[in-house]
Amino acid sequence: MRGDVIAGLTVAVVAIPQCIAYASIAGLPPSYGLYSAVVASIAGALWGSSRYLSTGPTNAISILVLSILTPLAAIGAPEYLVAASMMAVMVGVFCIVFSFAGLGMLVNFASRAVLLGFTAGAGVLIAAGQLKNLFRLDVPRSPHLLSTLAKVVDAIDETHVPSLALGAGTIVVILLLGRFYKRLPGGLFALIGAGVVVAVFGVDRLGVAVVGEIQRTVPQVTGFPLGWMIELDLVGALVTGSLAVAALGLVEAVSIAREISRQSGERLDVNQELVGQGIANIAAGLFSGYACSGSFTRSAVNYQSGARSQMSSVFGGLFVLAGVLAFGPQAAYLPKAALAGLIMVIAYRMVDWHGVRRVIRTSRPETGIMVATFAATLVLPLEFAVLAGVILSLAIYIYQSSLPTVHTVVPSENFRHFVEKEETPACPQLGVINIRGALFFGAASHVEDELLRNYETNPGQNQLLLRMHGVFQCDLSGIDVLEGILRLYRDAGGDVYLVQVRPDVRQLMRVSGFEELIGEDNFLKQEEAIEWLFENAIDPAVCIYECEHRVFAECQPLEKHLYDIRLPAFPTRFRYPELQLNVPDFEDGLRRHGGSALLVDVRELEEYERGHLAGAELYPLRHIIEDAEKLPHDRPIFLICRSGRRSTRAMHWLIGLGFEDVHNLKGGLLSWKALGRPVEVD
């Protein structure tokens, strides 16, 4: 127990001045903050999941409570105090309902940027709200920033100099101790010093306002007069505000507990933590307290002070109670100006400057959430600001997670897999695109826009390979998009091919008719897709004569001959199908014409030397296009290349120049070898 006792005592020393300050922020007596710290820390520790989370009043919750309750009752009135306790009970009920409904995971959807933006805005509001106490101005309290500042400026001539001196001195002492003696509780020492000054010189002589005596009593059971609560519809008026407090409190508590659990190695049960926070708030509301959450400062102190179990928070609560019983009457000497100075330092430290800079550097969407929440905190009622930030965070998450990613990919340097490289040159004929995510009605237009953008960016790229392994869901809207893209590429003389289509997506393609439309042959095997496309879809003439890049492994052995000539476009529809001969007819034609036929191989020299038909003469396509008149017009010409595409281009070129007896081997040398026909190798 030794570590827990020491940690509990250390946390109590920090908690006493903090809780008095937080109660002041909420417009409540100091006892409400102290009793909340006593009851909530014990209940939250015993029923929660974290060993180190210290539950009690926090600055963010306090300013939110003030904003919600100010329109309902006058600050300090009995109705105000009852409403604060009732809100705590309602917050606790919400937390427990969330837990038993298994909604703890929803806390994950509330971006940390919401908390950063809200606490920064709350810090500004808190500091502005304490100006009246720092200067001791007789102006009404307002939750609205501009109204508060305007009232302070109008009454600034009435500044009470001794109060301002005590407040400024408190700020200086806290900052100096924090800089040179970080282990000392600067807030506690500063408040004690200010109290000693008032006690020595006298309250009447200085004319400063003081906090007032805290009764030496244990927390009392809160009385809820149901009659006037129902008459004022107090419960109904608190529902929205309590939901906002619960949302903020849960995000705050779970974020803190997770941060410490990463350092300590403990396993956090989020739903159990919701139960702990719920019971802590209910207990605080029933025993003269107000809404609570996890405190980062006190939790960090608890962990760093050597706490071993939840009993450290139990001891912390008991030590706070002991402090109230022992020194409660001395609060009569505590000046409100000094307390205002402490609160203004706390307000400044509320802003997580490191976290803000980190969000700005790393995430544009989260930066937008943070700025929007900050602005909403300054302008809107705080309960709506919190809910707006959470809803915006959730909306952005849904938007981002619902949109599939559509990225153009190219082979890696070793050609073993595909990678995303924006600066890598693209193949002028073949585009390879990864689609990851659900291809459903909500995302179909996004996918279509990205595919159309790729088509417009690469106008000559008429072959498209879609890698579909990341598409885990598809509906008819997604099928409609694929059909539209397929028609677009086929109208341009190209085609669309698919690899790694999941079975359930393939089944939808089958029953919707898309499989029949695209054709069975257009579903390729991942490991053979590029090679198959090079043999059957990609035009080698473009690779050799027009493209200077070597994007795929299949491009590497190709010899490049970049000439300033305009190649005839590959014909999408053969105008002379009767001249496209299969292997047996090609052989018959050569035999029938005997020695008069001219067998022309239109490939490059390196390809020709690796294997060619007996008797074939080498006339690369570039030579045919540049100087076709060297070929005889009075002899039948039989053309051949690797796959039949270059020779088809050459056939159309020669016919266009007036050659009458031209024939082409359909499928090229690949079809010749497929039937076991021999080739010669030089």
Residue with structure tokens 């014990």? 42
221 φψ region: left (φ > 0), alpha (ψ -120 to 50), beta (else):
beta
Tokens of 444: 């179909």
3-state secondary structure 236-295: HHHHHHHHHHHHHHHHHHHHHHHHHHHHHCCCCCHHHHHHHHHHHHHHHHHCCCCCCEEE
- HEC profile of 366-380: HHHHHHHHHHHHHHC
Tokens 């299969």 belong to residue: 582
CA 374, 118, 262 angle in degrees (round to 5)?
130
In angstroms, the Cα distances linking 280 to 38, 399, 473, 611, 624 are 10, 35, 43, 85, 89
Phi first, then psi, for residue 363 (nearest 5°) are -145, 115
**Candidate list 543, 547, 555, 641, residue with the active-site label:** 641
The β-bridge partners of 463 are 430, 495
- Residue 357: exposure state from Cβ atoms within 10 A (0-12, 13-18, ≥19): exposed
User: How far does the chain reach from its first CA to its final CA, in angstroms?
Assistant: 90
What is the separation of C-alpha 369 from the centre of its chain, rounded to a whole number of angstroms? 11
Residue with tokens 């309960």, as numbered in its chain: 383
Distance (Å, whole) CA 250 – CA 277? 8
Known active-site residue 641:
yes
**Token pair in block for residue 108:** 């994950």
Of the candidates 110, 375, 117, the residue with the CA atom closest to the CA atom of residue 253: 110
Nearest Cα residue to 549 out of 562, 538, 537, 539: 562
Neighbours of 153 (CB within 10 A): 11
| Token pair belonging to 159 | 């500044």
CA distances from 463 to 138, 182, 432 (A): 77, 67, 9
Cβ neighbours of 492 (radius 10 Å): 15
Q: CA geometry: angle at 297 spanning 217 and 393, to 5°? A: 115
Going by the DSSP 8-state scheme, the letter that residue 477 receives in this structure is H
Strand pairing class (463-474; 523-524): unpaired
Write out the E strands in 500-641: 523-524, 580-581, 598-601, 617-618, 637-640
Is the separation of the CB atoms in 210 and 198 below 8 Å? yes
What are residue 600's phi and psi, to 5 degrees?
Answer: -115, 125
Nearest to residue 298, comparing CAs of 559, 50, 604, 611?
50
Tell me which residues are annotated as active site.
641
